[in-house]
Every structure is written in C-alpha cells, then in structure tokens.
Amino acid sequence: MLLLVGLGNPGPRYAGHRHNVGFMAVDEIVRRRVFSAWRTRFDGEMAEGHLAGERTLVLKPMTFMNDSSRSVGEAVRFLKIPIERVVVFHDELDIAPGRVRMKKGGGAGGHNGLRDIDAHVGNGYRRVRIGIGHPGHKDLVLHWVLRDFEPDERDPATGWLPRLLKALAEESALLADGTGKTDERYMSRVAALAPAPDLPARLNIKE
C-alpha cells in the first residue's frame, strides 16, 4: 500500500496560496488517475485508487499545516503503512519556481508541516519538493507562502503551475516503487514534460 499526502491549509481562503501547492498536486493526481471521490477520514480528505497496480491512498490533512501529523499519524497507524511507503508533496522555498526535487528523510528546512510530521510520525518518508522560490528575506516568507500564485503562473494556457501539476500527476505511477529507485526518473520525466519557467532569480535559492 502507498500513501500520498498533500500538505496545505483547508478552506477557500487558502486554496490558491503557494503553501497549498501540495494540495494542488494530489488533487491533480486524483483528477487525472482512476481514484474514488474524496471522503472524510483521518481528520482529512481521502481518495483511493491504484498506481502501477499498487493500492494507493491519497490524503489531504484538514488540520491546518502546523498540525499535519494528527491526520498523517492516524492514517499511518490505523492502516499500518510503513513510513517509507509514505510520499509527501509540499512547497519548497529553496527551490526555484517550477522545479521539483525528491529526497527521503532529512530535515524539515523550516517547513512547519514537515516539522510536525517528523516530530510525531518520523522522517523516513519520501518528499516531493515543489519549488515556489524565495522572496529574498526571511521577514517576507510568511506573506510569500500565504499568497496566491500570480495570474500568469496559474494561467491554464501558458502558466507553469498547471503544466507542472499535470506532469506530476501523469508520471505519478513511478512513485509506486517503494524502493525509491524510480524517484530520479520521476523528477526527470516531470522536468521533461514541464520545463522550469524562465523567471526572475530569487535570493537564497539553493537548487
């Protein structure tokens, strides 16, 4: 069994925020692949389907970002899912907009949702780190992440965001390999389908 988790904040007020790109990613997977309708479970919204023949559950915690572990931990414990079979989609400040990186374990990097999961569930899960760029100064970070993507970024015809979300969904079957051996291929395929946009450089971007 595979558990895909998208991180974000619930409600229409937050729906378009950069901090909610994890929700957007798993929404697109459920929309484009064969999954059930969303239903309320584990203090979140859950859909069920299959990726590459593997039973796959998709979870969006409805507990707000800083308390994500309440939902994730309940699902992991009840369903007895090994932590390495959990894949978390989240926004990443230190990666340029439109780029995607994957890793297993490691630090939370200042991300409150990851920090909460690490503290109460463990940190051996795989992460799909979706770049949103950095505003240039730490004092601007909160406003930056709790702000909608710009209209040109989310334009259905020309924006990089819809193109990236589509690629993340279309190649998501590669995530079913629990060994992580296909993670590099997943990143490469997504990058090929949705090349990163040529945007003004942001300060403090590491990748």
| Span 161-173, pLDDT tens digits | 999 999 999 999 9
87 phi/psi in degrees, rounded to 5: -120, 125
| Span 14-58, pLDDT tens digits | 999 999 999 999 999 999 999 999 999 999 999 999 999 999 999
pTM of the model: 0.94
The span from the CA of 2 to the CA of 171, in Å, is 15
The span from the CA of 149 to the CA of 144, in Å, is 9
Model confidence at 178: pLDDT above 50: yes
Model confidence at 203: pLDDT above 50: no
User: Which domains occur in the chain, in start order?
Assistant: 2-193 (3.40.50.1470)
Query: 20: closest CA among 81, 72, 74, 89?
Result: 89
The span from the CA of 53 to the CA of 150, in Å, is 37
Which are the catalytic amino acids?
Answer: 19
